[in-house]
A and B are shown apart, each in its own frame.
Chain A
Amino acid sequence: MVIKKIVGPSERLYLSALKGFFEEVAQLTLFTLRFFKQALQPPYEFNELLKQSYLIGYKSLPLIAITGCIMGLVLTIQSRPTLAEFGAESWLPAMVAVSIIREIGPVITALIFAGKVGSGIGAELASMKVSEQIDAMEVSGINPFKYIVVTRVVSATFMLPVLVVMADAIALYGAYIGVNLKGEVSFHLFFLQVFEKLTFTDVFPAIIKTFFFGFAIALISCYKGYNSNKGTEGVGVAANSAVVYGSLAVFILDMAAVQISSLFS
Chain B
Amino acid sequence: METIVADITNLKKAFGSNHVLKGIDLKIERGENLVVLGKSGSGKSVLIKCLVGLIEPDEGKVILFGKNVFELNDEDLNALRKKVGFLFQSAALYDSMSVRENLEFPLRGLKLKQKELDERVASTLKSVGLEDAIDQMPCGLSGGMRKRVGLARTLMLNPEIILYDEPTTGLDPTTSKEISRLILDVQKKYSAASIIITHDVECARITANRMMIIKDGTAYCEGTFEELETSKDEWVRSFFK
What is the interface of chain A, defined by CB distance below 8 A to chain B?
43, 127-128, 131-133, 135-143
Given known A43-B109, A135-B54, A136-B86, contact A141–B92 (CB-CB < 8 A): no
Which one of B28-36, B74-82, B214-222 is at the interface?
B74-82
CB pair B92–A138 under 8 Å, yes or no, is: no
CB pair B88–A132 under 8 Å, yes or no, is: yes
10 closest A-B pairs by beta carbon, nearest first, are A136-B92, A141-B78, A132-B92, A140-B106, A141-B81, A139-B86, A141-B82, A132-B88, A133-B92, A131-B90
A129 to B14, CA, bound (A): 21
Which residues of chain B are near A141, meaning CB under 8 Å?
78-82, 106
Q: Nearest chain-B residue to A133 (Cβ)?
A: B92
CB pair B54–A140 under 8 Å, yes or no, is: no
Which residues of chain B are near A131, meaning CB under 8 Å?
90, 92, 95
Given known A139-B81, A141-B78, A141-B82, contact A132–B90 (CB-CB < 8 A): yes
A135 to B74, CA, bound (A): 15
Q: For A135, give its contact among B88, B106, B153 (CB under 8 Å).
A: B88
Given known A133-B95, A138-B54, contact A143–B90 (CB-CB < 8 A): no
CB pair A139–B105 under 8 Å, yes or no, is: no
CB pair B105–A140 under 8 Å, yes or no, is: yes
**A225 CB to nearest B CB, Å:** 14
A135 to B49, CA, bound (A): 9
Which residues of chain A are near B157, meaning CB under 8 Å?
140
CB pair A138–B81 under 8 Å, yes or no, is: yes
**B67 CB to nearest A CB, Å:** 14
A78 to B178, CA, bound (A): 68
A143 to B184, CA, bound (A): 31
What sequence of 0s and 1s flags, for each residue 153-182 of chain B, a beta carbon within 8 Å of any chain A beta carbon? 100010000000000000000000000000
**B54 CB to nearest A CB, Å:** 6
**A20 CB to nearest B CB, Å:** 17
A39 to B88, CA, bound (A): 29
* B interface: dominant SS: loop
CB pair B94–A133 under 8 Å, yes or no, is: yes
Q: Nearest chain-A residue to B108 (Cβ)?
A: A142
A178 to B93, CA, bound (A): 50
A179 to B193, CA, bound (A): 75
A133 to B49, CA, bound (A): 14
**B11 CB to nearest A CB, Å:** 18
Q: Taking the complex as formed, is B183 at the interface, i.e. its CB lies under 8 A from any CB of chain A?
A: no
Given known A142-B105, A142-B106, contact A136–B88 (CB-CB < 8 A): yes
Which residues of chain B are near A136, meaning CB under 8 Å?
86, 88, 92, 94, 153
A128 to B52, CA, bound (A): 19
CB pair B54–A139 under 8 Å, yes or no, is: yes
CB pair A139–B52 under 8 Å, yes or no, is: yes
Which residues of chain B are near A135, meaning CB under 8 Å?
49, 54, 86, 88, 92
Q: Taking the complex as formed, is B89 at the interface, i.e. its CB lies under 8 A from any CB of chain A?
A: yes
Q: Nearest chain-A residue to B79 (Cβ)?
A: A141
A128 to B153, CA, bound (A): 17
A138 to B69, CA, bound (A): 14
A142 to B92, CA, bound (A): 15
Q: Nearest chain-B residue to A55 (Cβ)?
A: B96
A131 to B95, CA, bound (A): 10
Q: Taking the complex as formed, is B228 at the interface, i.e. its CB lies under 8 A from any CB of chain A?
A: no
**A154 CB to nearest B CB, Å:** 18
A131 to B49, CA, bound (A): 15
**A226 CB to nearest B CB, Å:** 15
Q: Taking the complex as formed, is B84 at the interface, i.e. its CB lies under 8 A from any CB of chain A?
A: yes
| A-B contacts, 26 listed (Cβ < 8 Å) | A43-B109, A127-B95, A128-B94, A131-B90, A131-B95, A132-B88, A132-B90, A133-B92, A133-B93, A133-B95, A135-B49, A135-B92, A136-B86, A136-B92, A138-B54, A138-B81, A139-B52, A140-B82, A140-B105, A140-B157, A141-B80, A141-B82, A141-B106, A142-B106, A142-B108, A143-B74
CB pair A143–B88 under 8 Å, yes or no, is: no
A140 to B95, CA, bound (A): 16
Q: Nearest chain-A residue to B49 (Cβ)?
A: A135
Given known A135-B54, A138-B54, contact A143–B92 (CB-CB < 8 A): no
A137 to B96, CA, bound (A): 13
CB pair A139–B108 under 8 Å, yes or no, is: no
A136 to B89, CA, bound (A): 11
Which residues of chain A are near B54, meaning CB under 8 Å?
135, 138-139
**B40 CB to nearest A CB, Å:** 15
A136 to B154, CA, bound (A): 9
Which residues of chain A are near B82, meaning CB under 8 Å?
140-141
**B187 CB to nearest A CB, Å:** 19
A136 to B109, CA, bound (A): 16
